Structure 1
Amino acid sequence: MESTGFSDMDVRGRGQGLRDDEIDAVAMAVTAVIVNTMHGVPSSSGDMLAELRKRRALLQRIGEAPDCVATQIVAACAAYVEKKVTHYRMPLPVKQVIAFALYMWASGETYESGTSAFGIGRATGLQAVRDVISALLQAYPDAIKWPVGRRRVQILRAFRDKGFPNCYGAIHCTHIFIDKPAGAPSANYYDRKQKFSVQAQVVVDLDLRIMDDHIGYPGSVHDVRVLHNSQLWRRAQAGELFDAPPVSLPHRVVTRGYLLGDNGYPVVCPWIVQPYGEIDQGPNEERFDTRQKVARGCVERAFGRLKCMWRLFLRTHKTNLDTLPQQFVAVCTLHNILLDAGINFDENLLWEVDENGVHRRVDLGIVGNDAGGWQHCTNVDEDLLRDTLRDRLALM
């Protein structure tokens, strides 16, 4: 990870930044973005500040609420962001540092426009984001974790009600679109949509909560290779993940846990159940595929909520490949915090107007894969598990 000492940074922020009330307004504006009260506000720095001043009273009322998410995040991260005064500079106010990072991720603006809106220099803004990433991961170390105890029971029950007993979650990858990377083999990052991107793999439950994430592989890499090089794969293969009480299925099959995936995972392991995906299907296979697709749809909904709330990861943007993984993990942490806080999501954010004035769904970077990314192998256990789940659904 690139690091920059504070003594070497642009220090224009102190004295030229926003007033305390404006800093509070900006912090609360992030909350307002989250709850969609800012939907449709112009994104330029001048227009945003003008709009913030108009809504200051409303935003302050939001901030005074005891359950204000932004206030909680600031309070939790403050101890990890606080900087000591040195002979070279005064530290930026903690609220300003945290508000800036949240604003950048939520608005998707560039560092140039974002830092000017906050009255700080670009280098200071870069360091502020690094500081907030570190603070979030320290303040919320368990925000992203594999389910255990009561949480695991709730997840297994929810998937059982969908027809998939002892299912832990659904797995998929999304592409984070970036500018052509400098200092790296750019062809490796050129994906199937002819865009430069980085792969992010997540596992989510039916509440859209992220339980595991793995990010950093170039966009040209197949989902299965990303999986095979992840900690998830190593832990699952070692028997550390799927340890639920065994459930008996038809044909004397017993399972202690598995995930749902799409056809991009061609029977590589006994713990990912994919659809049949055949053209000429029998009624039981068709029923299974429909139910499996509905259940694993939580992954796409999670990507939609995450990327449309934190729009930096929705749009193509210039990034540092060394810090992008940590930024995405930080935003996944925020994603889970907001779910725990009961923050609703406006489905209208999933739509945009293109240059021709046509409404269309935003591109969530979900690229379909075929089985070509991995040498096909036959796994009797996985095939048998899918068949028994199919037969169980036929009896429901």
Structure 2
Amino acid sequence: MSSEAASGMDVDGGAGRGGLTTAERTTIAAAVNAVLVHCQMASNDANFKAAIRARRKLLALPTTAQCLDVAAISDAVLEVCYAMGCGGFPWATPRWWVKRRTGGTWEDLRQCDDATDDYFKEKLRMSPRVFREIQETLSPLLQRRVTFYRVPLQPDHIIAYALYRWATGETYDSGTCSFGIVRASGITMVHDVTAALLTACPDKISWPTGLQKAVVLRAFADKGFPNCHGCIDCTHIYIDKPANANGEDYCDRRRRFSVQAQVVVDMNLRVLDVFVGYPGSVHDMRMLNLSSLWVRAESGQLFTGPPVMLPFGVRTNGYLLGDNGYPQSEWIVVPYGGLAQHPTKARFDNKQKTTRGAVERAFGRLKGMWRLFLRTHKCNMDSLPQQFVAVCILHNILIDAGVPFDDNLLWEVGPDGVRRRVDLGMHQPLRPVCMESSTGDALILRDALAERMIAQ
């Protein structure tokens, strides 16, 4: 059959069934040309050369009037397909070799009705408004380029997946069914959100200054501790046995594998300083000596405010409240301890323990909301510290936004069916640290605070 018989009738729209008229061909050509102009503006030199080679091959076809129309339309269709492949505009559906994404949790989170507020708080631990604020802050750091294989996930989807994993403690594999994310993509997205939080919100964890400092000092002064800047303690993040490390180093005194995190909080439960990453066998005092907090405090860079006068002529520039896992020093005040205590010492210890309870409540809120750090799980030892700091940033963001905490998150049902309080990983010291390193000035600071409580 000749080319005219095969194509001429349809193209000319004469006797052929479903042929194109001249007006229809003009409309198609105009639409295709508009797409091609847009695609060519975004193409590089190599793409232009490929398009020119394709056009030359088509122009080599026979030059009859009918075939010219066929060549022109075929050329246009070919270049549209070429533009789609180069990412000029996205594909309507994924390629056959690409795993199709499902809806599930993410599709439910995208619903725009009043019922989603509670669903957001259950899955992401925040309201839709706070989520949008975080999304606007992190989106410039998470925007991804359209590739040849698939349309990339949008920043809001990436952020939601990372929050969902931290909040529920799901593994990457179990998270696939809820978010349509394969394991490799999930790992990458969590790391990307972690890096974005550390880059965009480093000031969310900072030592109080200005008005914030005045609020912190006033809250502790109302509890009987003037010029106190915070409470310090450590928590264990339970992990599986590390693959490429000495397991004994990470085994704490409860014979569980863990990583230590040292945190300082204020009375509002905000994290002021965090230091994480050393094995669970490291003592709290050793963690303190290794941290930048120790260097800043010993060099006089941590407590820079005006001094406060206490009884016995004692002056203090500032201090933290700690448990007996730390020795009494000029900037860490610990309880007296002991069984048969003088009433003055007993009163001081009770007040110190009550006030220092802020750090336990902070760990309860932080780990209760972000349950991945409450459970034993496999982790990348290189990225775990960064992820914990990122969660501390989120912890402060939610406190500043006034997001309430549900105390039910501190309880769970065990394998035996019994409902019990979760383990926050806070190990009480077996015995007080030796006070031989404590100076006379350090001991008299505690006595002066105890005397001040009696006077009040």
Rounded Cα–Cα distance in structure 2 between residues aligned with 1:126 and 1:218: 23
Residue number in structure 1 paired with 2:163:
102
- State which of 82, 103, 110 in structure 2 corresponds to 1:24: 110
TM-score normalised per structure 2: 0.74
Residue number in structure 2 paired with 1:257:
318
Rounded Cα–Cα distance in structure 2 between residues aligned with 1:23 and 1:325: 29
User: Could you say if the C-alpha distance between residues 342 and 289 of structure 1 is closer, same or farther in structure 2, counting changes exceeding 3 Å?
Assistant: same
Rounded Cα–Cα distance in structure 1 between residues aligned with 2:150 and 2:247: 39
User: Which letter does structure 1 place at the counterpart of 2:286?
Assistant: R
Rounded Cα–Cα distance in structure 2 between residues aligned with 1:17 and 1:241: 50
User: Which letter does structure 1 place at the counterpart of 2:144?
Assistant: K
Q: Can you give the 5+ residue segments of structure 2 that lack an aligned partner in the other structure?
A: 1-95
Counterparts of 1:334-373 in structure 2, within 5 Å, are 334-370=394-430
Residue number in structure 1 paired with 2:347:
287
- Asked whether the 8 Å contact 2:252–2:280 carries over to 1, the reply is yes
Residue number in structure 1 paired with 2:265:
204
Counterparts of 1:21-170 in structure 2, within 5 Å, are 21-22=107-108, 24=110, 32=118, 35=121, 63=128, 68-87=129-148, 89-170=150-231
Bigger CA radius of gyration: 2
1:98 Cα offset (Å)? 0.7
Counterparts of 1:177-196 in structure 2, within 5 Å, are 177-196=238-257
Structure 1 vs Structure 2: percent identity of aligned residues?
Answer: 53
Counterparts of 1:316-327 in structure 2, within 5 Å, are 316-327=376-387
Moved over 6 A (4+): 11-14, 28-31, 372-375
Which deviates more from structure 2 when the two are superposed, residues 350-359 or residues 194-203? Answer: 350-359
1:35 Cα offset (Å)? 4.0
The answer to whether residue 318 in structure 2 is matched with residue 276 in structure 1 is no
Deviations 1:193-216 (A, max 9, x none): 111000000000000000000000
Count of equivalent residues = 359
Residue number in structure 2 paired with 1:42:
none
Rounded Cα–Cα distance in structure 2 between residues aligned with 1:372 and 1:221: 16
Deviations 1:342-371 (A, max 9, x none): 011111221222233333211000011246
Bigger relative contact order (CA 8 A; separation at least 6):
1
1:29 Cα offset (Å)? 10
User: Could you say if the C-alpha distance between residues 325 and 33 of structure 1 is closer, same or farther in structure 2, counting changes exceeding 3 Å?
Assistant: farther
User: Could you say if the C-alpha distance between residues 301 and 288 of structure 1 is closer, same or farther in structure 2, counting changes exceeding 3 Å?
Assistant: same
Rounded Cα–Cα distance in structure 2 between residues aligned with 1:271 and 1:37: 41
Residue number in structure 1 paired with 2:11:
none
Tell me the secondary structure at the aligned position of residue 201 of structure 1.
strand
User: What is the RMSD of the two structures over their aligned residues, measured on CA atoms?
Assistant: 2.6
- Asked whether the 8 Å contact 2:265–2:272 carries over to 1, the reply is yes
Residue number in structure 2 paired with 1:227:
288
Tell me the secondary structure at the aligned position of residue 195 of structure 1.
coil
1:245 Cα offset (Å)? 1.1
Deviations 1:43-90 (A, max 9, x none): xxxxxxxxxxxxxxxx9xx64xxxx11111111111111112344554
Tell me the secondary structure at the aligned position of residue 437 of structure 2.
coil
Residue number in structure 2 paired with 1:303:
363
Deviations 1:80-113 (A, max 9, x none): 1111234455422211111110000000011111
Rounded Cα–Cα distance in structure 2 between residues aligned with 1:284 and 1:192: 33
- Asked whether the 8 Å contact 1:174–1:200 carries over to 2, the reply is yes
- State which of 321, 330, 334 in structure 1 corresponds to 2:390: 330
Rounded Cα–Cα distance in structure 1 between residues aligned with 2:430 and 2:436: 11
Residue number in structure 1 paired with 2:89:
none
Deviations 1:303-342 (A, max 9, x none): 0000010000111111010000000000000000000000
Residue number in structure 1 paired with 2:85:
none
Rounded Cα–Cα distance in structure 2 between residues aligned with 1:264 and 1:33: 41
Tell me the secondary structure at the aligned position of residue 203 of structure 2.
coil
